[in-house]
Amino acid sequence: MNFPRPAPGGPRERLTPLLSLNTQPQNQDRPLDLQHHLPLSRSGYNSHSNSNNATHSPSSTSLFSNAPSIFLKTPKPPKGKRVDAPHVTVDVGRRVSGNNGDGDQSTIRPEVTYSPQEGPRRPAEIPMGNMIGVVPPVYPSAPREDPIQTLRQAVSNISIGYSANSNQSGSMTHSPEGSSKSSPGSSATGGHGYHGLPEPGKPKEFNDEVFEVISRLGEGAGGAVHHVRDTRDGSIYARKTITTREVSTRQVVRELKIIATTSHVNIVQCFGAYMSPSSSEVKIIMEYCDGQSLEAIGKKLKERSAIIGEKIAGRIAEGILQGLTYLHSRRTIHRDIKPSNILLSREGIVKLCDFGVSGELTNESFLGTFTGTLVYMAPERVSGGEYTIRADVWSAGISLLELVQNRFPFPAELSTIELILTITNSEPPSLEDDPEADITWSDEMKDFIRQTLIREPRSRPTPREMLDHPWIRIVMNQEDHMAKWIRQVWGWPKPSKRPRKGSSRYENNGEDDGGNMSKHSTGSSVSPAD
Ligand SMILES: Nc1ncnc2c1ncn2[C@@H]1O[C@H](COP(=O)(O)OP(=O)(O)OP(=O)(O)O)[C@@H](O)[C@H]1O
């Protein structure tokens, strides 16, 4: 990460000398390297925060006339509060002391340090290597933040097993075939075999040894997601591995906190987490969503030259909005709603996942935090403005439009800058009939998409308001075929009503799934399930 260098001679804030070095040069022929930005990011320091808290002042005088000085902007830490390590630029004119051999071990001998809380005090000698001095700030009462410790704490907070989340407090949005309760056991592998449910209320301990990897589900920015089986009881999960070196501690902690504290039928359920022995990875154990993501479903439909029907699209839209409404009630914005983060369970229930970039609202809005996937971002986010939960509504609209039209709503050949300009300045994309393919969509559905893609954020409805849209009400008044539809998408056999002794739960009972997808048709009747 690049930290902004303080502009020489630029506006300065109140500076407080933290450390003054008394230089008694013993070897003056090798000047120390000047003007290095030296992040105080030894282990235990949060190197990416408070980048603006330090600067140096070459022209300032120090306690000792010849001594180079380090100055810090020193916001006085509130009592009992953690202080992140500042970044300092060391302005050291001469090697201080020590041998000049290959080891290049020199020592700076600070005479006085100054702590905003304690005033001047004398620290120990601080070794230098390679002519760069790294001087820890002296905040005796401020505990250093150890990222590994922070992660361990966050992991242990959620590693209380599935018992904490086993109560699905969210409303069921429809009545799927089979069990509606989310549990690892209910997601049998590829329709072969039913695994017993873990005992409710009994926390499970997870580690690498207990898992067997079935397949790799995909890879995101921070790590990979695997389909795994717990060899102790055959339970099936999705395991997300986050490489701690690639993702900021804050981001991992935020994701862990959000998934550990959310409990809703339209949010992927978390069953626990653990750290790899080397602490280089955090692994999150989630419910496995057999129905896969809207991205994978879209690809499958394309392969078969099939499109999705209105009733199915409406159910999916409703599930997304329920999930977002719940998140909003928890003062959370997802910030990365896109087809690969919208999953379906075996029963066709929508499950939002990937809270890596989600944000917790302190006020109703965020200001200009550029996090997420550009192509699904609302105009106010792309342009760096303030944004609210309504930004997630836009992303949901783009994702749905992509799914039903089976193509990305913006021209594919746009460069990043052109895409930004299109999102911010052009007429928002809309749902259109395709007479050539004999596809027509209802006016209600077209209006629903239009409402989600209103450019002016304040005029765009919230997820809660979108749930009252006539299209959603019409769709939700009709019979639910999600389980049948998702089975047809993936070609799963129909589950038998009563499993015969010794047979698998998802045994094919002879249902003909051959005609599960029309090549094309009107938008309202593309599949038997529709
Ligand atoms: N619980 C789950 N069940 C089934 N598949 C999942 C689950 N969680 C994630 N996946 C799939 O794993 C893949 C990787 O997911 P991940 O969230 O890490 O990255 P992504 O959304 O593809 O990319 P990015 O990190 O850029 O947002 C995606 O295809 C996603 O659909």
Element (H, E) at 294: helix 294-303
Token pair for residue 453?
A: 């893609």
* Angle of helix 390-405 versus helix 443-452 axis, rounded to 10: 140
How many whole angstroms separate alpha carbon 424 and alpha carbon 428?
9
The SS3 call for residue 259 is helix
Alpha carbon of 337 to ligand 1 centroid (Å): 12
Ligand 1: residue whose CA is nearest its atom 12: 218
pLDDT at 227: 97
Q: For residues 429 and 409, is the Cβ–Cβ distance under 8 A?
A: yes
The atom number, within ligand 1, closest to the CA of 343 reads: 31
Query: At 307, which amino acid appears?
Result: I
Residue having the nearest C-alpha atom to atom 22 of ligand 1:
220
- Separation of 219 CA from ligand 1 center, angstroms? 7
- Report CA(354)–ligand 1 centroid distance (Å): 7
Residue 450 token pair: 């239009």
Partnered with residue 224 across adjacent β-strands are: 219
Q: Which two tokens stand for residue 314?
A: 């409406």
- The neighbour count for residue 449, using CB atoms within 10 Å, is 25
* Residues flanking ligand 1, CB < 6 Å: 217-221, 225, 238, 240, 268, 286-289, 293, 336, 340-341, 343, 353-354
Pocket test for ligand 1, best of 295, 353, 486 (most atoms within 8 A of CB): 353
Number of neighbouring beta carbons within 10 Å of residue 99: 12
Count of C-beta atoms within a 10 Å radius of residue 60? 14
Q: Which residue's CA is the closest to the ligand 1 atom numbered 9?
A: 225
Q: Of ligand 1's atoms, which has the minimum distance to the CA of residue 293?
A: 31
The ipTM (two decimal places) reads 0.96
Taking a C-beta distance cutoff of 8 angstroms, is the pair 140, 21 a contact?
Answer: no
- Tell me if 56 sits within 8 A of 72, measured CB to CB: no
Atom 20, ligand 1: residue with shortest CA distance = 220
Bridge partners, 273 (sequence order): 284
* AA identity, residue 418: E
Distance between Cα 224 and ligand 1 center (Å): 8
How many A from CA of 220 to the centre of ligand 1?
6
The span from the CA of 37 to the CA of 3, in Å, is: 9
CA 259 to chain centre: 10
Atom 27 of ligand 1, nearest CA residue: 220
Tens digit of pLDDT at every position of the chain (530 positions): 343 333 343 333 322 233 333 333 333 333 323 222 222 222 222 233 333 333 333 333 222 233 333 333 334 444 544 434 333 323 333 333 333 333 333 333 333 333 344 433 333 333 332 222 333 444 445 455 677 777 776 776 665 443 333 333 322 222 223 333 333 433 332 322 223 334 445 567 899 999 999 999 988 777 899 999 999 999 999 999 988 887 778 888 888 888 888 899 999 998 989 988 787 889 999 999 999 999 999 999 999 999 999 999 999 999 999 999 999 998 888 888 999 999 999 999 999 998 766 655 555 555 445 455 788 999 998 888 788 899 999 999 999 999 999 999 998 888 888 999 999 999 999 999 999 989 999 999 999 999 999 999 999 999 999 999 999 999 999 999 999 999 999 999 988 776 555 443 333 333 433 333 443 333 333 343 34
Q: Helices 310-329 & 443-452, crossing angle to 10 degrees?
A: 30
Going by alpha carbons, the residue nearest to atom 13 of ligand 1 is 218
Q: Which of 340, 345, 351 to mutate to test ligand 1, by most ligand atoms within 8 A of the CB atom? A: 340
Q: What span, in angstroms and rounded, lies between the C-alpha atoms of 165 and 153?
A: 19
User: CB–CB of 121/113 below 8 Å?
Assistant: yes
Residue nearest to atom 30 of ligand 1 (CA): 340
Task: Check residue 494 and report its DSSP letter.
Answer: P
Output the pLDDT for position 445.
98
Q: Which atom of ligand 1 is least distant from the CA of 351?
A: 1
Distance 287 CA to ligand 1 centre (A): 12
Is 240 annotated to bind a ligand? Reply is yes
Residue nearest to atom 4 of ligand 1 (CA): 289
Most ligand 1 atoms within 8 A of CB, residue of 217, 242, 271 to mutate: 217
Report the 10 Å Cβ neighbour count for 452: 28
Instruction: Given the residues 91, 336, 392, 480, select the one marked as catalytic.
Output: 336
Cα atoms in the 13 Å half-sphere on the side-chain side of 501: 0
- The answer to whether residues 96 and 107 touch, using CB atoms and an 8 Å cutoff, is yes
Centre of ligand 1 to C-alpha 12, Å, is 45
Cβ proximity of 61 and 126 under 8 Å: no
- Whether residue 354 lies in the annotated active site: no
Of the candidates 153, 152, 154, 129, the one whose C-alpha atom is nearest the C-alpha of residue 42 is: 129
d(CA 135, CA 126): 7
Q: Are 174 and 315 in contact (CB under 8 A)?
A: yes
Q: What is the pLDDT of residue 325?
A: 96
Q: Distance, CA 30 to ligand 1 centroid (Å)?
A: 54
Ligand 1 atom with minimal separation from the 223 CA: 18
Nearest atom in ligand 1 to the alpha carbon of residue 219 is 14
Instruction: Locate the ligand 1 atom nearest the alpha carbon of residue 336 and give its number.
Output: 27
Tell me the CA distances in angstroms from 387 to 258, 320, 322, 339, 428, one per residue in order.
20, 19, 20, 21, 17
